């Protein structure tokens, strides 16, 4: 039972501290999942699941909460998974639900509040800095799986990952749909794998 | 009374549809919400949608949930909020729950492992693009640059946890906003 309470509370906190939606919750989620469930959900699993989340409908936050809840609750079987997903999703949804209900009632006071404006002046750029940190952490896992060292420059897989990244970045900037980008990277990954180059 | 439940059911099915057909979540949902709730059902106005985006950007939580709760409330109170939020969450909850099981079955397969090896590099590209989008939305002044650099260095280099950094940036923003306001008044 404690595991499920922890899921709910952790995702409640993540939901309450995410400003800007979507990827803005990634840094905190990455950190908290690493601390609490790092043994069940390694960082690559989160990266992999971002791809799944991009290729399925629905908001990123709900997708991630449902997935992590299901993985954490899996120790108690199917029903444990279901209840885990439920706790995490409820947790991530509830803070914004409550806040919006309050804001909807006194919107004008909220809109003109100097405090809200001031706080957002700091939070908007903070999210950019934090996500940069999260991406660096993902990148070091992808490009330097065995830790950052010079030997990595002798491995083929480092260059292959770097090339896939560079090509996909160009495609992403040209507004190619994320699903197409994920599909191309998957096909590239499979081909490289069967050529024995990873 | 009966009417209220009927509207709530309509709100639920509308947001269920929105949740089931938007890929990418959040901002990708706004045009669909607009078409369904402004043009089709006339529950809210064009101005309400702009209001919602402004609110969603300055309140915590996912934008999809924020806008669903807000539109639901405008339509038929708390009942509407519950209906809309439940509707927008349910499709992805069901789909992802199913996928988490499928993934567990297939993650041992060689082909799946190879595919994800490639996908991870692709996800990095998607993340960088998302980051670029968020960067562009910020004002280009020294306060923003200091906060960006500071929050990055604190978490990525000095290993400070995310929450205290967020709190610190909020206070910093509040203080600088106050100082700048005073300067303008003078």
Say if residue B24 is in the same domain as residue B36: yes
CB contact under 8 A, A128 and B104: no
Q: Is pLDDT of B25 > 70?
A: no
d(CA A85, CA A1): 14
Token readout for A38 is 């790092």
Number of domains within chain B: 3
Say if residue B127 is in the same domain as residue B182: no
Among the listed residues B171, B164, B173, the one whose alpha carbon sits nearest the alpha carbon of residue B142: B173
Q: How close A88 gets to chain B, by Cα (Å)?
A: 11
State whether residue B32 sits within 8 Å of chain A by CB: no
Go through chain A and tell me how many residues it has.
198
Residues in A closer than 8 angstroms to B23, CB to CB, are: 54-57, 177-179
Residues in A closer than 8 angstroms to B172, CB to CB, are: 122
**List of residues 6+ apart from B100 with CB closer than 8 A:** A66, A67, A70, A71, A81, A85
CB contact under 8 A, B78 and A101: yes
Choice between B9 and A154, residue whose per-residue pLDDT is larger: B9
- A75-90, pLDDT tens digit by residue? 999 999 999 999 999 9
d(CA B129, CA B107): 27
Say if residue B99 is in the same domain as residue B8: yes
Candidates A24, A57, A101, A108, partner chain B, best to mutate (most B CBs within 10 A): A57
Residues in A closer than 8 angstroms to B51, CB to CB, are: 107
Say if residue B62 is in the same domain as residue B120: no
Residues in A closer than 8 angstroms to B113, CB to CB, are: 193
Residues in A closer than 8 angstroms to B103, CB to CB, are: 52
Instruction: Return the pLDDT at A116.
Output: 81
Q: Looking at the partner chain, which of B21, B54, B121 has a beta carbon nearest the beta carbon of A165?
A: B121
Choose the final residue of a domain: B120, B137, B154.
B137
Say if residue B175 is in the same domain as residue B157: yes
Say if residue B10 is in the same domain as residue B49: yes
Say if residue B157 is in the same domain as residue B180: yes
CB contact under 8 A, A181 and B138: no
Say if residue B88 is in the same domain as residue B113: no
Residues in B closer than 8 angstroms to A97, CB to CB, are: 61, 65, 69, 81, 85
A53 secondary structure, DSSP code: H
- B131-178, pLDDT tens digit by residue? 888 888 888 888 889 999 999 999 888 988 888 888 899 899 989 988
CB contact under 8 A, A172 and B125: yes
The three-class DSSP label of residue A46 is helix
**ipTM at complex level:** 0.87
Say if residue B179 is in the same domain as residue B93: no
Among the listed residues B16, B101, B63, the one whose alpha carbon sits nearest the alpha carbon of residue A84: B101
Say if residue B127 is in the same domain as residue B178: no
Domain span including residue B82: 2-106
Spans of all domains in chain A: 2-143, 145-198
Q: pLDDT averaged over consecutive 10-residue blocks of chain A (198 residues)?
A: 94 90 84 93 89 86 93 92 96 93 82 81 87 86 74 78 90 85 89 84
Say if residue B8 is in the same domain as residue B40: yes
Q: Quick check: A89 and A108 in contact, CB under 8 A?
A: no
Q: Quick check: B38 and B24 in contact, CB under 8 A?
A: no
């Amino acid at each position: 039972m404690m595991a499920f309470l922890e899921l709910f509370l952790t995702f409640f906190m993540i939901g309450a501290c995410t400003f800007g939606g979507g990827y803005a919750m990634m840094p905190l989620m990455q950190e908290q999942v690493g601390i609490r469930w790092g043994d069940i959900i390694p960082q690559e699993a989160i990266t992999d699941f971002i791809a799944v989340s991009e290729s399925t409908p629905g908001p990123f936050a709900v997708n991630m909460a449902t997935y992590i809840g299901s993985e954490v609750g899996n120790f108690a079987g199917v029903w444990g998974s279901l209840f885990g997903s439920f706790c995490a999703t409820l947790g991530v949804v509830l803070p914004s639900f409550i806040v919006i209900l309050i804001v909807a009632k006194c919107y004008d006071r909220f809109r003109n509040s100097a405090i809200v404006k001031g706080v957002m002046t700091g939070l908007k750029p903070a999210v950019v800095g934090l996500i940069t940190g999260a991406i660096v952490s993902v990148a070091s896992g992808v490009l330097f799986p065995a830790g950052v060292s010079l030997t990595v420059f002798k491995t083929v897989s480092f260059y292959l990952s770097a090339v896939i990244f560079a090509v996909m970045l160009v495609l992403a900037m040209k507004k190619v749909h994320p699903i197409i980008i994920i599909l191309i990277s998957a096909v590239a990954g499979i081909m490289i794998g069967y050529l024995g180059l990873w | 009374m009966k009417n209220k439940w009927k509207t709530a059911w309509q709100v639920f099915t509308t947001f269920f549809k929105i949740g089931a057909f938007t890929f990418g979540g959040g901002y990708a949902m706004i045009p669909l919400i607009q078409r369904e709730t402004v043009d089709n059902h006339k529950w809210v106005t064009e101005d309400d949608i702009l209001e919602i985006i402004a609110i969603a950007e300055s309140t915590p939580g996912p934008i999809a949930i924020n806008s669903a709760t807000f539109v639901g409330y405008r339509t038929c109170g708390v009942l509407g909020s519950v209906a809309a939020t439940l509707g927008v969450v349910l499709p992805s909850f069901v789909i992802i729950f199913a996928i988490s099981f499928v993934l567990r079955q297939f993650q041992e397969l060689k082909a799946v492992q190879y595919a994800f090896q490639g996908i991870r590099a692709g996800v990095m590209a998607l993340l960088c693009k998302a980051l670029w989008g968020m960067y562009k939305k910020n004002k280009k002044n020294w306060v923003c640059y200091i906060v960006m650099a500071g929050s990055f260095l604190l978490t990525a280099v000095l290993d400070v946890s995310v929450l205290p950094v967020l709190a610190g940036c909020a206070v910093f923003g509040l203080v600088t906003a106050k100082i700048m306001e005073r300067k303008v008044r003078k």
